[in-house]
Amino acid sequence: YQRRVNGAGGVFDLIWYNPEYYINPDTVDVPLDAVKNGEQNFAAFRSSWTDSNGLYAAIKGGNNQTTHGDLDIGSFMIDALGKRWLLDYGYEKYSNPGIFERNTNAKRWTYYGKRAEAHNTLVMNPSNSPDQDVFAGCEIDEFFVSGGGGYAVVYMTAAYKKYAKSVVRGMMVFDRKRQV
């Protein structure tokens, strides 16, 4: 299954392989569009589970204090036509000094990969200070699916209350999930 879906496997797949951990989209009824609220919440839209050229689009709410969390409320991702068109910078090394600090003045928020500017989200008044409220939490407030499309909305004001009175970001898929 790993080779079919991801095109490769690795040594850890041999060690920890357990078929119960994998969903086979050919045999399991899993929704193409879904919203998950909680610590790391998101909304995702998918045109197919098996078409490698299909559309996948997702938008994130979340809580900036979650484990491994970044200042990335409002970030989004789009895959289509077999390519990832928008992606995040990635992660920072866990060996970096202060990487596990989580308070407002923590060194963690000085690392590029932990800041909003490293993600597909808004940056307001750039400076050396954290670019989102480090204690903010924002859920997917609206989620709607109908036929060949749908939308999701995140009210992000809590993340940017220092900079703006109201911040809202949304994502919409339409035209039978061929456009975002």
The secondary structure of residue 10, as a DSSP letter, is -
Handedness of CA 116, 120, 124, 126 (dihedral sign): positive
pLDDT 10s digits, 153-178: 999 999 999 999 999 999 999 999 99
The segments of the chain whose pLDDT lies below 70 read: 1-14, 16, 19-28, 90
Buried b (16+ CB within 10 A) or exposed e, 140-163: beebebeeebbbbbbbbbbbbeee
Note the pLDDT of residue 46.
Answer: 94
Cα separation, 12 vs 124, in Å, equals: 41
Is-contact 28 97, C-beta < 8 A? no
